[in-house]
Amino acid sequence: MTRATLLACHECDLLQRDAGVPEGGVLRCRRCHGELYRNRADWLGRAFALSLGATVLLVIANSFPIVGLSVNGTLVNTTLIGSVRVLYRDGMWPIAGLVFATTILTPILHIATVLWLLVPLRLNRVPWAAGVVFRLSRLVQPWGMIEVLILGLLVALVKLSHIASVVPGIGLWSFGALTLTLAAVGAAFDPRSLWLHIGALEQGGSNASGERSVLRGWLSAAECGLVQCHDCGLLARAPAHAHELSCPRCGASVHRRKQDSLARTWAFLFAAMVLYVPANVLPVMYTSSLFGAAKDTIMSGVVYLWTSGSWLLALVVFIASIAVPMLKILAIAFLSLSIQFHSRWNPEQRARIYRVVELVGRWSMLDIYVITMLVALVQFKALATIQAGPAAVAFGAVVVLTMFAAMSLDPRLIWDEATQDHAGIRKHT
């Protein structure tokens, strides 16, 4: 048995044999059922073509207006970068920076890094600085939120349709197509095959070395003195007493367990809890019109959508902007407490909770994008204007902090008690 034929689950750290997977098939961990990898057919060709298409769509989407608003012959339209500029001009630079980073900067970096890796491979060349570029790609990918932006635009259009005539722009349709294309790029891109391809081109030999010939029971990679890189998937031997080291292939920081995982998770979580209150109590935006001024909270926006007949959108906004942040805080707190008190309650269920938390966290950004569009478009001076309120900054911080809390939590800690139980069983058999 060679190390090349062993895999460690990045969620529960279970060491297990690699297995042949048919095209389109998925290899899952036999303990926590987390996805180990997918066998993507023609991954290089499809990922390359889709990345080129995403590049074209990204340029068009950011060059043309997303939507226009017509009132008494006056047309106001905006691009995404124009919306960011309006927020910055109004003094809401934290929200402007967050919107810019999640909808413009990270998609550009994601597509650029993917093409940086794929273009040389198409030419049978090894990408320059492949490790650094690959780590950058993995770093920015969770923060790209084009799909949440599209849903936010739909909610904003419903609200705007009660104010004036809405004129969809080329940018709106381009962002819709970009959302689908980026999802397809993520589905086609295969990090495991990428590094196998690079290894074959380098003719650098093998990562193989002697390991256990038989795996019995449940053995974690840490028990065998091994550690897996969560970026490129390389399984490497960790020196004794080494808490943190660099991956020999991509250079990412790897560790048996994330250092101070619980402490950092609690720090981010407590900060999110504190800011959750003003995010829901303070005004999220101010509206001025000929009929007076109004202050809207997140909940009042949900009520407005409900009373105007948009029940489905009201439910979506309520779930994304109120229920999800609260449930995410509770779920992370539950997982952290269960780890801290060495709970042995159903680790598989807790692992599923962790996956859901990671999956839904980004959708809380919905209200931020709705506010961005409303602020940018409703600028009719004497007739009506909308400005972002202090709750928008607090709410944006809650979303970011809960995402950091989930990223800081090491899911392998959930399984450590189960591993110890099986270790005890092995000692007595």
Q: What is the pLDDT of residues 98-128, one digit of tens each?
A: 999 999 999 999 999 999 999 999 988 889 9
Task: Assess whether pLDDT exceeds 80 at residue 1.
Answer: no
Q: Is 333 helix (H, G, I), strand (E, B) or coil?
A: helix
User: Would you state the pLDDT for residue 177?
Assistant: 93
Neighbours of 165 (CB within 10 A): 11
Q: What is the mean pLDDT of residues 275-300?
A: 78
Above pLDDT 90, what percent of the chain?
Answer: 22
Task: Report the DSSP beta bridge partners of residue 227.
Answer: 236
Angle between helices 366-377 and 390-408 (to 10 degrees): 150
**Residue ranges per domain, the chain?**
43-197+259-418
Distance CA 403, CA 358 (A): 8
- What pTM does this model have? 0.79
Q: What is the pLDDT of residues 370-383, one digit of tens each?
A: 888 877 777 655 45
> Which stretch of 203-212, 285-294, 296-305 has the lowest confidence by average pLDDT?
203-212
Backbone angle region of 233, left / alpha / beta, with phi > 0 → left and psi within -120 to 50 → alpha: left
* Chain mean pLDDT for the chain: 80
Q: Which helix (H) or strand (E) holds 69?
A: strand 67-71
**Where is mean pLDDT largest: 124-128, 232-236, 365-369?**
124-128
Q: What is the pLDDT of residues 316-335, one digit of tens each?
A: 888 888 888 899 999 999 99
Q: For residue 411, what is the DSSP state?
A: T
User: Would you state the pLDDT for residue 103?
Assistant: 92
Above pLDDT 70, what percent of the chain?
Answer: 84
CA diameter of the chain:
84
